[in-house]
Structure 1
Protein backbone atom coordinates (compact mmCIF):
# COMPACT_ATOMS: atom_id res chain seq x y z
CA UNK A 1 0.00 0.00 0.00
CA UNK A 2 1.13 3.60 -0.57
CA UNK A 3 2.08 5.82 2.37
CA UNK A 4 -1.00 6.94 4.30
CA UNK A 5 -2.39 10.32 3.32
CA UNK A 6 -6.04 10.01 4.24
CA UNK A 7 -7.69 11.62 7.24
CA UNK A 8 -10.32 9.87 9.36
CA UNK A 9 -13.30 11.35 7.45
CA UNK A 10 -11.61 10.50 4.15
CA UNK A 11 -11.37 6.85 5.17
CA UNK A 12 -15.14 6.74 5.53
CA UNK A 13 -15.60 8.47 2.16
CA UNK A 14 -13.28 5.91 0.56
CA UNK A 15 -15.28 3.20 2.33
CA UNK A 16 -18.40 4.25 0.44
CA UNK A 17 -16.46 4.15 -2.83
CA UNK A 18 -15.04 0.70 -2.09
CA UNK A 19 -18.55 -0.70 -1.63
CA UNK A 20 -18.98 -0.41 -5.39
CA UNK A 21 -16.09 -2.72 -6.24
CA UNK A 22 -17.42 -5.71 -8.24
CA UNK A 23 -15.96 -8.33 -5.92
CA UNK A 24 -17.17 -6.55 -2.78
CA UNK A 25 -20.82 -5.78 -3.51
CA UNK A 26 -22.15 -9.21 -2.57
CA UNK A 27 -20.34 -9.25 0.78
CA UNK A 28 -21.60 -5.72 1.52
CA UNK A 29 -25.22 -6.72 0.88
CA UNK A 30 -25.52 -8.98 3.94
CA UNK A 31 -24.53 -6.40 6.60
CA UNK A 32 -26.54 -3.81 4.65
CA UNK A 33 -29.66 -6.00 4.81
CA UNK A 34 -29.18 -6.65 8.53
CA UNK A 35 -28.59 -2.95 9.19
CA UNK A 36 -31.74 -1.99 7.27
CA UNK A 37 -33.88 -4.46 9.21
CA UNK A 38 -32.53 -3.51 12.65
CA UNK A 39 -32.57 0.25 12.08
CA UNK A 40 -36.02 0.15 10.53
CA UNK A 41 -37.53 -1.83 13.40
CA UNK A 42 -35.87 0.05 16.26
CA UNK A 43 -36.43 3.47 14.68
CA UNK A 44 -40.14 2.69 14.39
CA UNK A 45 -40.24 1.63 18.05
CA UNK A 46 -38.39 4.72 19.32
CA UNK A 47 -40.08 7.51 17.34
CA UNK A 48 -43.10 7.62 19.64
CA UNK A 49 -40.87 7.97 22.72
CA UNK A 50 -38.34 10.49 21.42
CA UNK A 51 -40.15 13.61 22.73
CA UNK A 52 -40.67 11.96 26.11
CA UNK A 53 -36.97 11.11 26.34
CA UNK A 54 -35.99 14.69 25.48
CA UNK A 55 -38.27 16.04 28.23
CA UNK A 56 -36.79 13.61 30.76
CA UNK A 57 -33.28 14.58 29.73
CA UNK A 58 -34.01 18.30 30.11
CA UNK A 59 -35.57 17.68 33.55
CA UNK A 60 -32.19 16.26 34.58
CA UNK A 61 -30.74 19.77 34.06
CA UNK A 62 -30.01 21.48 37.42
CA UNK A 63 -32.37 24.37 38.23
CA UNK A 64 -29.54 26.87 38.36
CA UNK A 65 -28.78 26.15 34.69
CA UNK A 66 -32.38 26.70 33.59
CA UNK A 67 -31.46 29.97 31.85
CA UNK A 68 -29.29 27.91 29.44
CA UNK A 69 -32.18 25.69 28.32
CA UNK A 70 -32.31 27.35 24.90
CA UNK A 71 -28.68 26.34 24.32
CA UNK A 72 -28.75 22.92 25.98
CA UNK A 73 -31.89 21.67 24.25
CA UNK A 74 -30.14 21.03 20.88
CA UNK A 75 -27.23 19.46 22.76
CA UNK A 76 -29.73 17.17 24.50
CA UNK A 77 -31.05 16.13 21.09
CA UNK A 78 -27.48 15.33 19.97
CA UNK A 79 -26.87 13.34 23.15
CA UNK A 80 -30.06 11.32 22.76
CA UNK A 81 -29.41 10.66 19.08
CA UNK A 82 -25.86 9.55 19.90
CA UNK A 83 -27.04 7.13 22.60
CA UNK A 84 -29.98 5.74 20.60
CA UNK A 85 -28.00 5.32 17.40
CA UNK A 86 -25.07 3.74 19.21
CA UNK A 87 -27.52 1.31 20.82
CA UNK A 88 -28.97 0.52 17.39
CA UNK A 89 -25.49 0.09 15.93
CA UNK A 90 -24.45 -2.21 18.78
CA UNK A 91 -27.35 -4.58 18.13
CA UNK A 92 -26.78 -4.48 14.36
CA UNK A 93 -23.03 -5.08 14.75
CA UNK A 94 -23.65 -7.93 17.18
CA UNK A 95 -25.81 -9.76 14.65
CA UNK A 96 -23.76 -8.80 11.59
CA UNK A 97 -20.29 -9.32 13.14
CA UNK A 98 -19.40 -12.51 11.18
CA UNK A 99 -20.46 -10.91 7.90
CA UNK A 100 -18.60 -7.67 8.69
CA UNK A 101 -15.49 -9.75 9.30
CA UNK A 102 -15.99 -11.52 5.99
CA UNK A 103 -16.44 -8.19 4.20
CA UNK A 104 -13.21 -6.87 5.78
CA UNK A 105 -11.40 -10.05 4.73
CA UNK A 106 -12.52 -9.94 1.09
CA UNK A 107 -11.75 -6.24 0.77
CA UNK A 108 -8.28 -6.67 2.26
CA UNK A 109 -7.53 -9.49 -0.17
CA UNK A 110 -8.69 -7.41 -3.13
CA UNK A 111 -6.72 -4.30 -2.09
CA UNK A 112 -3.53 -6.08 -1.04
CA UNK A 113 -3.54 -8.94 -3.53
CA UNK A 114 -2.75 -11.38 -0.70
CA UNK A 115 -4.95 -13.99 0.94
CA UNK A 116 -5.80 -13.50 4.60
CA UNK A 117 -4.57 -16.47 6.62
CA UNK A 118 -7.49 -18.62 7.76
CA UNK A 119 -9.78 -17.01 5.18
CA UNK A 120 -13.44 -17.96 5.53
CA UNK A 121 -16.32 -18.88 3.28
CA UNK A 122 -19.82 -17.58 3.89
CA UNK A 123 -20.81 -20.78 5.72
CA UNK A 124 -17.67 -20.62 7.85
CA UNK A 125 -18.49 -17.01 8.72
CA UNK A 126 -21.92 -18.10 9.95
CA UNK A 127 -20.33 -20.95 11.93
CA UNK A 128 -17.93 -18.47 13.57
CA UNK A 129 -20.85 -16.56 15.11
CA UNK A 130 -20.08 -17.70 18.72
CA UNK A 131 -16.47 -16.47 18.45
CA UNK A 132 -17.68 -13.19 16.95
CA UNK A 133 -20.14 -12.77 19.82
CA UNK A 134 -17.26 -13.23 22.26
CA UNK A 135 -15.25 -10.47 20.55
CA UNK A 136 -18.27 -8.16 20.53
CA UNK A 137 -18.77 -8.94 24.23
CA UNK A 138 -15.25 -7.68 24.99
CA UNK A 139 -16.08 -4.48 23.13
CA UNK A 140 -19.23 -4.05 25.21
CA UNK A 141 -17.27 -4.48 28.44
CA UNK A 142 -14.78 -1.89 27.23
CA UNK A 143 -17.70 0.39 26.37
CA UNK A 144 -19.26 -0.13 29.81
CA UNK A 145 -16.07 1.02 31.53
CA UNK A 146 -15.94 4.18 29.44
CA UNK A 147 -19.68 4.76 29.93
CA UNK A 148 -19.30 4.72 33.72
CA UNK A 149 -16.49 7.28 33.57
CA UNK A 150 -18.49 9.44 31.14
CA UNK A 151 -21.56 9.27 33.39
CA UNK A 152 -19.53 10.46 36.38
CA UNK A 153 -18.01 13.27 34.30
CA UNK A 154 -21.50 14.20 33.08
CA UNK A 155 -22.67 14.87 36.64
CA UNK A 156 -19.65 17.09 37.25
CA UNK A 157 -19.76 18.88 33.88
CA UNK A 158 -23.49 18.85 33.15
CA UNK A 159 -23.47 21.39 30.28
CA UNK A 160 -20.81 19.35 28.48
CA UNK A 161 -22.55 15.99 28.97
CA UNK A 162 -23.86 15.71 25.36
CA UNK A 163 -20.40 16.40 23.95
CA UNK A 164 -18.79 13.93 26.35
CA UNK A 165 -21.18 11.14 25.33
CA UNK A 166 -20.76 11.97 21.65
CA UNK A 167 -16.97 11.84 22.02
CA UNK A 168 -17.13 8.50 23.84
CA UNK A 169 -19.44 6.97 21.24
CA UNK A 170 -17.22 8.30 18.44
CA UNK A 171 -14.21 6.55 19.96
CA UNK A 172 -16.21 3.33 20.27
CA UNK A 173 -17.18 3.56 16.59
CA UNK A 174 -13.48 3.69 15.71
CA UNK A 175 -12.82 0.66 17.91
CA UNK A 176 -15.76 -1.21 16.41
CA UNK A 177 -14.96 -0.80 12.73
CA UNK A 178 -11.16 -0.83 12.80
CA UNK A 179 -11.23 -4.05 14.81
CA UNK A 180 -12.72 -6.35 12.15
CA UNK A 181 -9.57 -6.74 10.01
CA UNK A 182 -7.43 -7.09 13.14
CA UNK A 183 -9.73 -9.80 14.45
CA UNK A 184 -9.34 -11.56 11.07
CA UNK A 185 -5.60 -11.64 11.75
CA UNK A 186 -6.24 -12.97 15.28
CA UNK A 187 -4.80 -9.93 17.04
CA UNK A 188 -5.95 -9.69 20.64
CA UNK A 189 -8.49 -7.01 21.49
CA UNK A 190 -5.95 -5.27 23.73
CA UNK A 191 -3.44 -5.18 20.85
CA UNK A 192 -6.15 -3.86 18.52
CA UNK A 193 -6.97 -1.06 20.98
CA UNK A 194 -3.28 -0.18 21.33
CA UNK A 195 -2.81 0.17 17.58
CA UNK A 196 -5.95 2.26 17.19
CA UNK A 197 -4.84 4.50 20.07
CA UNK A 198 -1.47 5.04 18.37
CA UNK A 199 -3.44 6.71 15.54
CA UNK A 200 -5.64 8.60 17.98
CA UNK A 201 -6.44 11.67 15.88
CA UNK A 202 -7.23 9.75 12.70
CA UNK A 203 -9.13 7.06 14.59
CA UNK A 204 -11.25 9.53 16.56
CA UNK A 205 -12.13 11.65 13.54
CA UNK A 206 -13.05 8.47 11.64
CA UNK A 207 -15.30 7.36 14.50
CA UNK A 208 -16.84 10.83 14.78
CA UNK A 209 -17.97 10.96 11.16
CA UNK A 210 -19.28 7.40 11.44
CA UNK A 211 -21.23 8.47 14.54
CA UNK A 212 -22.63 11.49 12.69
CA UNK A 213 -23.55 9.24 9.78
CA UNK A 214 -25.62 6.99 12.03
CA UNK A 215 -27.78 10.02 12.90
CA UNK A 216 -28.71 10.78 9.28
CA UNK A 217 -31.78 8.91 7.96
CA UNK A 218 -31.12 6.69 4.92
CA UNK A 219 -27.37 7.27 5.23
CA UNK A 220 -27.38 5.29 8.49
CA UNK A 221 -28.47 2.21 6.56
CA UNK A 222 -25.25 2.22 4.53
CA UNK A 223 -22.89 3.40 7.24
CA UNK A 224 -22.04 -0.07 8.61
CA UNK A 225 -20.55 -1.67 5.46
CA UNK A 226 -18.92 1.62 4.44
CA UNK A 227 -17.32 1.95 7.88
CA UNK A 228 -16.08 -1.66 7.70
CA UNK A 229 -14.44 -0.84 4.35
CA UNK A 230 -12.97 2.41 5.71
CA UNK A 231 -11.64 0.65 8.79
CA UNK A 232 -10.10 -2.07 6.65
CA UNK A 233 -8.34 0.51 4.48
CA UNK A 234 -7.05 2.23 7.62
CA UNK A 235 -5.74 -1.15 8.80
CA UNK A 236 -3.81 -1.64 5.59
CA UNK A 237 -2.36 1.88 5.48
CA UNK A 238 -1.79 2.74 9.12
CA UNK A 239 -2.25 -0.15 11.53
CA UNK A 240 -1.00 -3.37 9.93
CA UNK A 241 2.75 -2.85 9.90
CA UNK A 242 3.17 -2.03 13.58
CA UNK A 243 5.11 -4.54 15.64
CA UNK A 244 2.81 -6.30 18.14
CA UNK A 245 3.57 -5.61 21.78
CA UNK A 246 4.99 -8.65 23.55
Structure 2
Protein backbone atom coordinates (compact mmCIF):
# COMPACT_ATOMS: atom_id res chain seq x y z
CA UNK A 1 0.00 0.00 0.00
CA UNK A 2 1.46 3.36 -1.02
CA UNK A 3 0.60 5.58 1.94
CA UNK A 4 1.95 8.70 0.25
CA UNK A 5 -0.68 8.35 -2.48
CA UNK A 6 -3.55 7.48 -0.13
CA UNK A 7 -3.38 10.80 1.68
CA UNK A 8 -1.91 13.04 -0.99
CA UNK A 9 -1.90 16.70 0.09
CA UNK A 10 -4.35 19.04 -1.57
CA UNK A 11 -3.51 22.28 0.26
CA UNK A 12 -0.58 23.83 2.09
CA UNK A 13 0.67 22.52 5.42
CA UNK A 14 -1.08 25.26 7.41
CA UNK A 15 -4.37 24.62 5.61
CA UNK A 16 -4.11 20.89 6.26
CA UNK A 17 -3.26 21.52 9.92
CA UNK A 18 -6.38 23.66 10.32
CA UNK A 19 -8.43 21.08 8.42
CA UNK A 20 -7.25 18.46 10.91
CA UNK A 21 -8.34 20.65 13.83
CA UNK A 22 -11.68 21.08 12.08
CA UNK A 23 -12.26 17.32 12.24
CA UNK A 24 -12.54 17.63 16.02
CA UNK A 25 -15.20 20.32 15.58
CA UNK A 26 -17.09 17.98 13.27
CA UNK A 27 -16.85 15.29 15.93
CA UNK A 28 -18.41 17.72 18.39
CA UNK A 29 -21.33 18.05 16.00
CA UNK A 30 -22.34 14.50 16.91
CA UNK A 31 -23.38 15.78 20.33
CA UNK A 32 -26.28 17.45 18.52
CA UNK A 33 -27.09 14.51 16.22
CA UNK A 34 -26.68 11.69 18.76
CA UNK A 35 -26.74 13.20 22.27
CA UNK A 36 -27.58 9.91 24.02
CA UNK A 37 -24.70 8.01 22.45
CA UNK A 38 -22.20 10.79 23.01
CA UNK A 39 -23.22 11.29 26.65
CA UNK A 40 -22.87 7.55 27.20
CA UNK A 41 -19.31 7.88 25.92
CA UNK A 42 -18.55 10.32 28.75
CA UNK A 43 -19.04 7.60 31.42
CA UNK A 44 -15.72 5.74 30.85
CA UNK A 45 -13.94 9.09 30.50
CA UNK A 46 -15.29 10.11 33.92
CA UNK A 47 -13.95 6.92 35.50
CA UNK A 48 -10.54 7.28 33.88
CA UNK A 49 -10.48 11.02 34.53
CA UNK A 50 -11.00 10.55 38.26
CA UNK A 51 -7.99 8.22 38.39
CA UNK A 52 -5.72 10.56 36.47
CA UNK A 53 -6.79 13.71 38.33
CA UNK A 54 -5.83 11.96 41.54
CA UNK A 55 -2.48 10.89 40.11
CA UNK A 56 -1.67 14.36 38.76
CA UNK A 57 -2.74 15.99 42.05
CA UNK A 58 -0.27 13.69 43.80
CA UNK A 59 2.46 14.84 41.42
CA UNK A 60 1.63 18.49 42.13
CA UNK A 61 1.74 17.81 45.88
CA UNK A 62 5.20 16.24 45.73
CA UNK A 63 6.65 18.34 42.90
CA UNK A 64 8.74 20.51 45.24
CA UNK A 65 10.34 17.42 46.77
CA UNK A 66 11.01 15.95 43.33
CA UNK A 67 12.53 19.23 42.13
CA UNK A 68 14.87 19.28 45.14
CA UNK A 69 15.75 15.62 44.55
CA UNK A 70 17.02 16.23 41.00
CA UNK A 71 18.83 19.51 41.81
CA UNK A 72 21.15 18.64 44.75
CA UNK A 73 23.83 20.81 43.12
CA UNK A 74 21.76 23.88 44.06
CA UNK A 75 21.73 23.18 47.81
CA UNK A 76 24.61 25.60 48.45
CA UNK A 77 23.38 28.30 46.07
CA UNK A 78 21.81 31.55 47.19
CA UNK A 79 18.11 31.34 48.09
CA UNK A 80 17.10 33.17 44.89
CA UNK A 81 19.21 30.97 42.59
CA UNK A 82 18.13 27.77 44.35
CA UNK A 83 14.45 28.72 44.18
CA UNK A 84 14.69 29.67 40.50
CA UNK A 85 16.31 26.41 39.37
CA UNK A 86 13.84 24.36 41.40
CA UNK A 87 10.86 26.22 39.97
CA UNK A 88 12.21 25.36 36.51
CA UNK A 89 12.68 21.72 37.59
CA UNK A 90 9.14 21.65 38.97
CA UNK A 91 7.71 22.98 35.73
CA UNK A 92 9.68 20.34 33.81
CA UNK A 93 8.19 17.60 36.01
CA UNK A 94 4.68 18.97 35.53
CA UNK A 95 5.20 19.22 31.77
CA UNK A 96 6.39 15.62 31.50
CA UNK A 97 3.60 14.51 33.81
CA UNK A 98 1.03 16.35 31.72
CA UNK A 99 2.25 14.78 28.48
CA UNK A 100 2.20 11.26 29.90
CA UNK A 101 -1.12 11.85 31.65
CA UNK A 102 -2.88 12.94 28.46
CA UNK A 103 -1.54 10.04 26.38
CA UNK A 104 -2.12 7.49 29.16
CA UNK A 105 -5.61 8.85 29.89
CA UNK A 106 -6.58 8.32 26.27
CA UNK A 107 -5.20 4.78 26.21
CA UNK A 108 -6.90 3.74 29.46
CA UNK A 109 -10.21 5.41 28.56
CA UNK A 110 -10.32 3.68 25.18
CA UNK A 111 -9.80 0.31 26.89
CA UNK A 112 -12.44 0.98 29.59
CA UNK A 113 -15.00 2.32 27.13
CA UNK A 114 -14.21 0.14 24.13
CA UNK A 115 -17.85 -0.89 23.40
CA UNK A 116 -19.09 2.72 23.65
CA UNK A 117 -16.38 4.22 21.48
CA UNK A 118 -16.61 1.40 18.97
CA UNK A 119 -20.31 2.23 18.58
CA UNK A 120 -19.57 5.94 18.12
CA UNK A 121 -16.92 5.15 15.51
CA UNK A 122 -19.21 2.73 13.66
CA UNK A 123 -22.00 5.32 13.55
CA UNK A 124 -19.65 7.83 11.93
CA UNK A 125 -18.56 5.23 9.38
CA UNK A 126 -22.17 4.41 8.50
CA UNK A 127 -23.02 8.08 8.05
CA UNK A 128 -20.31 8.47 5.40
CA UNK A 129 -20.70 5.25 3.45
CA UNK A 130 -19.70 2.37 5.69
CA UNK A 131 -16.38 0.55 6.13
CA UNK A 132 -14.75 -0.75 2.93
CA UNK A 133 -12.66 -3.84 3.59
CA UNK A 134 -14.10 -4.42 7.07
CA UNK A 135 -12.93 -7.56 8.86
CA UNK A 136 -14.65 -9.42 11.67
CA UNK A 137 -12.41 -9.27 14.74
CA UNK A 138 -13.60 -10.96 17.98
CA UNK A 139 -14.07 -8.50 20.86
CA UNK A 140 -11.48 -10.00 23.20
CA UNK A 141 -8.92 -10.34 20.44
CA UNK A 142 -9.45 -6.71 19.45
CA UNK A 143 -9.23 -5.55 23.06
CA UNK A 144 -6.00 -7.49 23.62
CA UNK A 145 -4.36 -6.06 20.50
CA UNK A 146 -5.49 -2.49 21.15
CA UNK A 147 -4.26 -2.73 24.76
CA UNK A 148 -0.85 -3.98 23.61
CA UNK A 149 -0.55 -1.19 21.05
CA UNK A 150 -1.60 1.38 23.65
CA UNK A 151 1.13 0.20 26.03
CA UNK A 152 3.66 0.56 23.21
CA UNK A 153 2.51 4.10 22.45
CA UNK A 154 2.62 5.18 26.11
CA UNK A 155 6.11 3.70 26.50
CA UNK A 156 7.26 5.54 23.37
CA UNK A 157 5.72 8.77 24.68
CA UNK A 158 7.69 8.31 27.90
CA UNK A 159 10.94 7.84 25.97
CA UNK A 160 10.29 10.96 23.91
CA UNK A 161 9.23 12.85 27.02
CA UNK A 162 12.59 12.34 28.77
CA UNK A 163 14.56 14.62 26.39
CA UNK A 164 11.75 17.19 26.64
CA UNK A 165 11.97 16.95 30.43
CA UNK A 166 15.72 17.61 30.32
CA UNK A 167 15.25 20.46 27.82
CA UNK A 168 12.81 22.00 30.29
CA UNK A 169 15.80 22.99 32.44
CA UNK A 170 17.11 25.32 29.72
CA UNK A 171 16.16 28.91 30.66
CA UNK A 172 13.59 30.55 28.36
CA UNK A 173 13.72 27.69 25.82
CA UNK A 174 12.37 25.28 28.43
CA UNK A 175 9.40 27.53 29.12
CA UNK A 176 8.60 28.56 25.52
CA UNK A 177 9.84 26.16 22.85
CA UNK A 178 9.55 22.95 24.86
CA UNK A 179 5.80 23.34 25.64
CA UNK A 180 5.11 23.86 21.92
CA UNK A 181 7.15 20.79 20.98
CA UNK A 182 5.44 18.88 23.79
CA UNK A 183 1.99 19.77 22.42
CA UNK A 184 3.04 18.62 18.94
CA UNK A 185 4.47 15.34 20.27
CA UNK A 186 1.45 14.74 22.48
CA UNK A 187 -0.88 15.60 19.61
CA UNK A 188 0.81 13.10 17.32
CA UNK A 189 0.54 10.28 19.85
CA UNK A 190 -3.12 11.13 20.49
CA UNK A 191 -3.91 11.04 16.78
CA UNK A 192 -2.24 7.63 16.39
CA UNK A 193 -4.01 6.34 19.49
CA UNK A 194 -7.49 7.61 18.67
CA UNK A 195 -7.65 6.23 15.11
CA UNK A 196 -7.14 2.71 16.44
CA UNK A 197 -10.79 1.59 16.16
CA UNK A 198 -11.36 2.43 12.47
CA UNK A 199 -8.00 0.93 11.51
CA UNK A 200 -8.61 -2.28 13.49
CA UNK A 201 -11.99 -2.48 11.74
CA UNK A 202 -10.03 -2.73 8.49
CA UNK A 203 -7.56 -5.26 9.84
CA UNK A 204 -4.71 -2.73 10.22
CA UNK A 205 -2.38 -2.62 13.23
CA UNK A 206 -0.27 0.12 14.78
CA UNK A 207 2.62 0.16 12.25
CA UNK A 208 0.20 0.57 9.32
CA UNK A 209 -1.84 3.36 10.84
CA UNK A 210 1.30 5.19 11.88
CA UNK A 211 2.66 5.00 8.32
CA UNK A 212 -0.62 6.14 6.78
CA UNK A 213 -1.00 9.09 9.15
CA UNK A 214 2.59 10.16 8.41
CA UNK A 215 1.64 10.53 4.74
CA UNK A 216 -0.40 13.61 5.72
CA UNK A 217 1.27 14.58 8.98
CA UNK A 218 -0.02 18.21 9.08
CA UNK A 219 -3.65 17.05 9.10
CA UNK A 220 -2.94 14.41 11.74
CA UNK A 221 -1.06 16.93 13.86
CA UNK A 222 -3.83 19.52 13.49
CA UNK A 223 -6.36 17.05 14.83
CA UNK A 224 -4.10 15.67 17.55
CA UNK A 225 -2.90 19.06 18.83
CA UNK A 226 -6.50 20.34 18.97
CA UNK A 227 -7.45 17.30 21.08
CA UNK A 228 -4.33 17.66 23.24
CA UNK A 229 -5.07 21.31 24.05
CA UNK A 230 -8.72 20.53 24.83
CA UNK A 231 -7.60 17.74 27.15
CA UNK A 232 -5.53 20.24 29.16
CA UNK A 233 -8.67 22.22 30.05
CA UNK A 234 -10.29 21.12 33.33
CA UNK A 235 -12.94 18.48 32.48
CA UNK A 236 -12.01 18.94 28.82
CA UNK A 237 -10.73 15.40 28.46
CA UNK A 238 -13.96 13.95 29.85
CA UNK A 239 -16.30 16.07 27.72
CA UNK A 240 -14.25 15.95 24.51
CA UNK A 241 -13.38 12.25 24.50
CA UNK A 242 -16.48 11.03 22.57
CA UNK A 243 -16.06 13.84 20.02
CA UNK A 244 -12.36 12.98 19.70
CA UNK A 245 -13.27 9.38 18.82
CA UNK A 246 -15.75 10.62 16.20
CA UNK A 247 -13.23 13.09 14.76
CA UNK A 248 -10.53 10.40 14.70
CA UNK A 249 -12.81 8.20 12.61
CA UNK A 250 -13.09 11.04 10.09
CA UNK A 251 -9.30 11.45 10.18
CA UNK A 252 -8.86 7.73 9.47
CA UNK A 253 -11.30 7.85 6.56
CA UNK A 254 -9.61 10.94 5.11
CA UNK A 255 -6.16 9.38 5.47
CA UNK A 256 -7.39 6.27 3.65
CA UNK A 257 -8.88 8.29 0.81
CA UNK A 258 -12.49 7.51 1.80
CA UNK A 259 -15.33 10.08 1.80
CA UNK A 260 -15.94 12.26 4.83
CA UNK A 261 -18.77 14.26 3.25
CA UNK A 262 -22.36 13.05 3.14
CA UNK A 263 -23.61 12.40 -0.37
Aligned to 2:63: 53
The question of whether the paired residues in 2 share the 8 Å contact of 1:196 and 1:203 is answered with yes
The question of whether the paired residues in 2 share the 8 Å contact of 1:97 and 1:133 is answered with no
Picking from 155, 159, 163, the partner of 1:148 is 159
Q: Which whole-Å CA distance do the structure 1 matches of 2:220 and 2:30 have between them? A: 19
Aligned to 2:37: 27
2:36 is aligned with 1:9 = no
The question of whether the paired residues in 1 share the 8 Å contact of 2:124 and 2:249 is answered with yes
The question of whether the paired residues in 2 share the 8 Å contact of 1:32 and 1:221 is answered with yes
The question of whether the paired residues in 2 share the 8 Å contact of 1:54 and 1:76 is answered with no
Structure 2 vs 1, CA of residues 156 and 9 (structure 1 numbering), >3 Å: closer, same or farther? closer
Picking from 172, 181, 186, the partner of 2:203 is 186
Picking from 53, 69, 83, the partner of 2:100 is 83
Which of the pair has more CA radius of gyration? 2
Aligned to 1:93: 110
Deviates more, 1:140-149 or 1:31-40: 140-149
Deviates more, 1:84-93 or 1:99-108: 84-93
By how many angstroms is 1:184 displaced?
1.4
2:129 is aligned with 1:113 = yes
By how many angstroms is 1:146 displaced?
4.6
Q: Which whole-Å CA distance do the structure 2 matches of 1:208 and 1:26 have between them? A: 27
Structure 2 vs 1, CA of residues 150 and 33 (structure 1 numbering), >3 Å: closer, same or farther? closer
Aligned to 1:136: 147
Residue correspondences, number: 231
Aligned to 2:225: 208
Q: Which whole-Å CA distance do the structure 2 matches of 1:74 and 1:153 have between them? A: 12
Q: Which whole-Å CA distance do the structure 2 matches of 1:157 and 1:218 have between them? A: 26
The CA RMSD over aligned residues, in Å, is: 3.4
By how many angstroms is 1:176 displaced?
1.0
State the Cα deviation string for residues 31-54 of structure 1 (Å, max 9, x = none): 311101221244245435423135
Q: Which whole-Å CA distance do the structure 2 matches of 1:144 and 1:170 have between them? A: 15
Describe how 1:141-180 pairs up with structure 2 within 5 A: 141-152=152-163, 154-155=165-166, 158-159=169-170, 160=174, 163=179, 165-180=182-197
Structure 2 vs 1, CA of residues 58 and 32 (structure 1 numbering), >3 Å: closer, same or farther? farther
SS of 1:7's equivalent? helix
Q: Which whole-Å CA distance do the structure 1 matches of 2:65 and 2:242 have between them? A: 34
Q: Normalising by structure 1, report the TM-score.
A: 0.75
Q: Which whole-Å CA distance do the structure 2 matches of 1:55 and 1:31 have between them? A: 37
By how many angstroms is 1:158 displaced?
4.0
By how many angstroms is 1:86 displaced?
2.9
The question of whether the paired residues in 1 share the 8 Å contact of 2:102 and 2:231 is answered with yes
Q: Extract unaligned runs of 5+ from structure 2.
A: 1-9, 259-263
Aligned to 2:47: 37
Structure 2 vs 1, CA of residues 190 and 17 (structure 1 numbering), >3 Å: closer, same or farther? same
Picking from 200, 207, 213, the partner of 1:196 is 213
